[in-house]
Amino acid sequence: MSYIEKNNPQLSASRFGFMKKTWFKIAAAIAVVLIAVVGVFAWKTDNVLKKISDGGLLESLSRSIPGVNNDVKGESEGRINILLLGMRGVDLPGGGNLADTIMLASILPKENKVAMISIPRDLYVTVPGTGDRQKINAVHAYGEQKGEGQGMEDMKTAVSEVTGLPIHYAVRTNFAGFKQLIDAVGGIEVTLSQPFDESLQFNQEHVCDSFFNIPTGNVENKTVKYFSKTLQAYKTRIVATYPLCNAPQDTLECGGNFKLPAGKQTLNGDQALCFARSRYATSDFERAKRQQEIIQLVKDRLMSAGTLTDFSKVNGILDSLGDNVKTDMKSWEMKKMYEIYSGMVNPQIYRRVLENSEEGLLYNPPQGDAGYILLPIGDNYDKIRDMAKNIFTMPAQTDIKPKI
């Protein structure tokens, strides 16, 4: 305290009062900013939750009241099954509502175990509620024609029929949401033992439409089989011919020719999506194995402390959801699922991909009117259901690691 303040107590008290008021104002300003940030975050989170599921923040809070049952489906039985679906996106050309990725995640919280079972898009199934047989990737599209969200319900029914397991929840994301999510977590790191080259898939010709509008000079014939009484044999005739086109060069997905060098590298959203979708250079089965590894990489990034404590990353994750992700979980169920999974420390992962092999439990019959399809070995789902039930105790699939 200065000499003047010692000899002038009123001045000292006045200065102390000024300092108290100043610090109070600063603290109040900081508190207001924090409240505003938390409020905006809560509002944004609630809005996102309302977009991707039924129910919002208030319902989530009500489930936190002591005595209110907040078990998610399957939790009391010890096994929670969630269907994961990936697709191009509603109203986008190229089959926007077809399920490009079909994967069942099965969680044993108390045993710290998680299983992933990938189902190929060409598996031939009965469309729920009908006697019609179609490839399983079309079930979602048919369901959505009946109403928003019905596609997920029909896919749950179809996958339950195949695996013999109750499907408790479903989550679907489109390509845009996947890309934004990868970017929001800072990309994913992959190590390739050899260069990756997909030069066919993203530059293939299609039946001409408003998007594929550069003629190639080639055509696609639609044929039907008929029985010739004269020849007493089945014959095939052309009933329609469609011209084929390419898309404009500047609109080709993944640049038309997607390549990655060998070695360790970090993929951004666009690269990760192209890597996850590529199948012509390998196969649909190899792609499924690759997708399982990508999901594990994304999960590791999402669950890392650096992601969950970085507001900009959390904000980016919320932005990636919005209209790009849909689920039939309630908001409180999503919160509870996060708590369950975050409480599992380095869970043991079990992986299976259904494919056309003895171990993959599927076979490819001679091609008929339905084109290339896959059917269960034995023409029933018994072996697949046994695998799904006992995946946590049976030997690992020998070729589960993708070749590239």
DSSP secondary structure string for all residues of 220-233: EEEEEEEEETTTTE
pLDDT at 204: 83
CB 122 within 8 A of CB 135: yes
Our CA angle for 151, 114, 167, nearest 5°, is 30
Give the contacts of 374 (CB within 8 A, at least 6 positions apart).
Answer: 120, 122, 123, 124, 354, 356, 362, 363, 364
pLDDT at 19: 47
> Cα(86)–Cα(155) distance, rounded to whole angstroms?
12
- What are phi and psi for residue 290, nearest 5 degrees? -65, -40
Q: Are strands 169-174 and 325-327 parallel, antiparallel or unpaired?
A: antiparallel
Each of the 404 residues of the chain gets a pLDDT tens digit; together they read 544 445 555 545 555 454 455 545 555 554 444 444 344 344 445 555 555 666 555 555 555 566 566 799 999 999 999 999 999 887 666 677 899 999 999 999 999 999 999 999 999 999 999 999 999 999 999 999 999 889 999 999 999 999 999 999 999 999 998 998 899 888 999 999 999 999 888 888 889 988 889 999 999 998 888 888 888 888 888 999 999 998 888 888 898 889 999 999 999 999 999 999 999 889 999 999 999 999 999 988 887 756 665 656 666 676 667 778 888 998 888 888 888 988 898 899 999 999 999 999 999 999 887 889 999 999 999 999 999 999 999 999 999 999 87
CB 288 within 8 A of CB 125: no
pLDDT at 38: 40
Sole residue written with tokens 């469609």: 242
pLDDT at 356: 96
Tokens of 280: 């012509």
Residue 173 β-bridge partners: 86, 325
3-state helix, strand, coil in the chain (%, to 5): 40, 25, 35
Instruction: Name the CATH code of domain 80-172+290-390 (choices 3.30.420.590, 3.40.50.1370, 3.40.50.700, 3.40.50.300).
Output: 3.30.420.590
Q: Where are the domains of the chain?
A: 3-52, 80-172+290-390, 203-249
pLDDT at 345: 87
pLDDT at 161: 98
